[in-house]
Structure 1
């Protein structure tokens, strides 16, 4: 019998470095991280789109001018534009041509060429000062002072709708993100439970040897945190590639103007491996401590 070599001997780890089930667990956690990162990118893009639309609406107003019996529609629109141009907080007021007004109502009334007898109102586009925009009430008062029959649309209704939609998108995105994080924690908890059940005898021996619950739970915590970090790296990388493809496919505005993905948004997925590792570490430690107490 050969002599025992104490220098080359190393104790076997309590948890094996590799397991046949590791691949499946990494795939599941990576998929969850991928979905979470895509949700984050969608929320960022939706928020950017909402802020862009709100910014445009805040700096603009539209005035619908109805001509009186003693003036032409174009004359009434020109007079309204001239009146509004002198209101404090207005940068520019421009009367839209008849063709543009007809193009705006075409989706509802069809081809305006068949509606020559219809008194189509003229529109005046008003560009407001971003630092001190004129209010809808100020514009309306100026028009009435000149005896103009006009309706001011300061887009406040549209802005409220957009802001409400943006808040809804953020809430849904946050809920989905939280649900995915909980699902990832549940997956790691299940894997921890299975790992402890398979090594019940070893846990008992460690306890008899004086090992504390925190030490044993820490072994599972470190193992699953590393595994989740690797899975998070794969998931975040795949989401970043998907986001880059959507950005390239959509040009300067992203895939569509509705979801304008920016290159800087891709940096938002960088913390995903650390977040996945944190969720896995907490879930594994809590599960391991609870099961070890039950075993003992």
Structure 2
């Protein structure tokens, strides 16, 4: 019992061991400042423009591909009315001749009602086609993978039905392909300009941050901190800024496409929506477009971080160069 009492008294008498606490190190750069906020806004604008361009290019390509597919699936035989021509017999003969070629799948003769509907926007309703020299059409559906011999079909039609003219739409297809390619090149050029402007902005912002904290960078560097450590601290700082800015800009672009798509869906069968649909297609970049917007956001963040790292490493090399040259460090011209 006495032994137990002595042990307890020894524990009370023993001094308490102080617990060592490691003071958290402060970041080299301040988490938020005016320059950081301005850079976030600039990166957000760049990301918005980049994502808007990417989404627009995706929509135009999809629309052009749809037009190309629709035009490539059909050819048109046009028969001009002449005196003494039995139009119905000529239309049937042209259809039969066209379907005799390998690569054709279906033929449709446009009747008077369908032809009148095509002419309504220009000539109005209540047309009497027998009183007007209006050409009649035969639409032939073809196999895109195995198209027929258009030259042989054109020669046979010219012999059997001299008033017939075959339009294989190749000219329109070539124009659409050229337009789509031009749009893609223009969009790519705009993206390159946006990324170039963003890189230059990040370079200037990084150099400004280093200039404001140059004494800290020099002290850390010359007491033994490696260049990679200092560059990593700047990387973290600019990675957070770029993620905030690119996420904000990409989100605004995605919301804009979603709002335009919802407006288009809710205003179907109106002249404005029909014209927009005919010219630009659906105001939705689709899954590929949204994936591309997300990829653009990540690319901007990575590009910003890489630019910041390279700029810091180059600046530290300049500091080492100045320190190694006594004439430069004293402010005197080097001999």
Structure 1 length normalisation: TM-score? 0.87
1:95 to 109, 123, 147: 109
Question: Distance in 2 between the 1:291 and 1:109 partners?
Answer: 73
User: Equivalent residue for 1:218?
Assistant: 232
User: Equivalent residue for 2:69?
Assistant: 55
The 5 A counterparts of 1:18-97 are 18-67=32-81, 69-97=83-111
2:30 to 1, 13, 16: 16
Structure 2 length normalisation: TM-score? 0.78
User: Equivalent residue for 2:291?
Assistant: 267
Question: Distance in 2 between the 1:106 and 1:273 partners?
Answer: 48
Where structure 2 has 5 or more consecutive residues not aligned to the other structure, the ranges are: 1-17, 323-335
Where structure 1 has 5 or more consecutive residues not aligned to the other structure, the ranges are: none
> SS at 1:271's partner residue?
helix
2:180 to 163, 166, 170: 166
- Contact 1:67–1:73 (CA<8 Å) still a contact in 2? yes
> SS at 1:127's partner residue?
strand
- Root-mean-square deviation (Å): 2.8
Question: Distance in 2 between the 1:194 and 1:103 partners?
Answer: 67
User: Equivalent residue for 1:292?
Assistant: 316
Larger Rg: 2
> For residues 174-229 of structure 1, what are the alpha-carbon distances to aligned partners after superposition, in whole Å with 9 as ceiling and x for unaligned?
11111111111122111101110011212221232123333322321221122101
Please state how far the C-alpha of 1:69 moved relative to its aligned partner: 4.5
Please state how far the C-alpha of 1:173 moved relative to its aligned partner: 0.8
User: Equivalent residue for 1:176?
Assistant: 190
> SS at 2:246's partner residue?
helix
User: Equivalent residue for 1:282?
Assistant: 306
Is 2:146 the counterpart of 1:132?
Answer: yes
1:256 to 270, 277, 297: 277
> For residues 35-82 of structure 1, what are the alpha-carbon distances to aligned partners after superposition, in whole Å with 9 as ceiling and x for unaligned?
111111111111111111111111100111134544223332222123
> SS at 1:277's partner residue?
helix
Please state how far the C-alpha of 1:267 moved relative to its aligned partner: 2.7
User: Equivalent residue for 2:247?
Assistant: 233
Count matched residues: 293
